[in-house]
Amino acid sequence: MKKSNAFALIPIGVFVIFYLSLGITFEYVMKIPMGFYNVPVVVAFLVALLVAVIQTKGKTLDEKFEIMGQGVGDKNIVTMLLIFLMAGIFVGVVGRNSAESVAYFMLSVTPPRIAVIVLFLISCFVSTAMGTSVGTITLITPIAVAVSAGSGFSLPLCVGTVVGGAMFGDNLSFISDTTIAACNGQGCKMKDKFRTNFAIVLPAAIVTLALIFVLSLNSDIPEKIDKSYNLVQIIPYVLVLISGIIGINVFVTLLIGIVSGSIIMLATDSISFSGLLSGMGAGASGMFETSMVAVLVAAMCALIKHNGGFEALLNGIRRIFKGKKSGQLGIGLLVGLMDVATANNTVAIVMANPIASDMAKDYGISSRKTASILDTFSCIVQGFLPYGAQILVALSAANTLGCKLTAFEIIANLFYPMMLLVSSLIFIFIIPEKKNKV
């Protein structure tokens, strides 16, 4: 039997306490502007990782490093790190001017008051087509920053809307890792999971659009925005958008953006060759903190798993929740807690799949509903994690363009994940499941 040790989860608590206590102290006690932004996230995770190392008994230091190395070397982590670097280079190549051109063109063809609504719809569409929330956030966040500057909408609202829209496709797309992991783990067809999932996300998306519309009406936005833009500089974003829509791999999509952006910037004398290389380097360097957090989280989670923390979490969920409706909530809570622990919704689904499958059989829950719950709740939690890849990438993209944001400013504007949680609970406790054998 796998060992179970609830104390192995302590490093996660250490990080949360370290991060929140310093952030609250800086922001509200010491009155430091952007207090949470001044908290060193990498240091917070290093402290938590040190606790996990100390907790790992019966192993030499070299053996502990080997366990951490196995966690960092996971395919999902390596893929994430490469996306971070490619994304940073893309932002470094196209720079602020290209994003502003996209934003000002968009504002010129749509009423300024619906600019944030357009951002949400674009993010939903691109993330569904590409199957990646991180890639979508990387591409659209610079545009959101420019929309905020040009229209007058608050920056947290614009960036939070993009992050929320990105989670829409992460949850729903046929080519999303979370969809594939949930369907394969529960043995259901993707089309069946999609139908069940769509009934949850559609009401959440509609309510989100209504909330954004109300906020737009209450905002002091100029009726006409007349700022110049360069249509040539829009081309890299158009190519990336088209690539995402037709389902091209995110690496190829970003490479298309980098190559086209480089050619256009050089051809129009917008930048010298040495300046282009410097921009690439600066963009990649801008992803340093984000990449380090991913590495530290992977190493910490590998030790927590080895020490029995995840097994204790799974066993606790299984014991507490009884009955069909409670069991569905238990499955959602299970994958949510796994996501808090791993900061990776795909990994969380993979780890939760075996227990969720057993719970589904015990409680008589269909495989497609189980897959839908796993995917939906993992995406809800992932969107809110201040140390999750989605928010970290959004912060990095905004900061690269000279804008300072905190994770909690973005979280306060994540209307879609909030509405998705409400819709999911209604889906579980109020709407009955049709009898089927799927």
Is there a domain that residue 134 lies in? yes
- pLDDT at residue 18 is higher than 80: yes
Is there a domain that residue 318 lies in? no
- pLDDT at residue 84 is higher than 80: no
Is there a domain that residue 307 lies in? no
Gap between the Cα atoms of 123 and 165, Å rounded = 5
Does this model's pTM top 0.75? My answer is no
Q: What's CA 122's distance to the chain center, in Å?
A: 16
Is there a domain that residue 266 lies in? yes
The number of distinct structural domains making up the chain is 1
Buried-state track 222-237, b at ≥16 Cβ within 10 A, e below 16? eeebeeebbeebbbbb
Is there a domain that residue 324 lies in? no
Phi, psi of 413 (to 5 degrees): -115, 20
Is there a domain that residue 308 lies in? no
> pLDDT, tens digit, for every residue of 369-407?
999 999 999 999 998 988 777 888 888 888 777 777 888
> pLDDT, tens digit, for every residue of 274-319?
888 988 888 888 778 767 877 888 888 889 889 988 788 777 777 7
In the 8-state DSSP scheme, what is residue 26? I
Gap between the Cα atoms of 313 and 348, Å rounded = 12
- pLDDT at residue 57 is higher than 60: yes
Q: Which of 98-102, 224-228, 382-386 has the lowest mean pLDDT?
A: 224-228
Gap between the Cα atoms of 188 and 59, Å rounded = 41
For residues 343-360, average pLDDT: 76
Q: Between 107 and 172, where is the model more confident? A: 172
Is there a domain that residue 352 lies in? no
Sequence-distant (≥ 6) Cβ neighbours of residue 182 within 8 angstroms = 193, 349, 353, 371, 372, 374, 375
In angstroms, what CA-CA distances link 123 with 52, 146, 351, 396, 400? 37, 15, 28, 18, 20
Is there a domain that residue 54 lies in? no
Helix, strand or coil for residue 67? helix
Which residue range is the domain that position 117 belongs to? 75-175+186-290+393-402
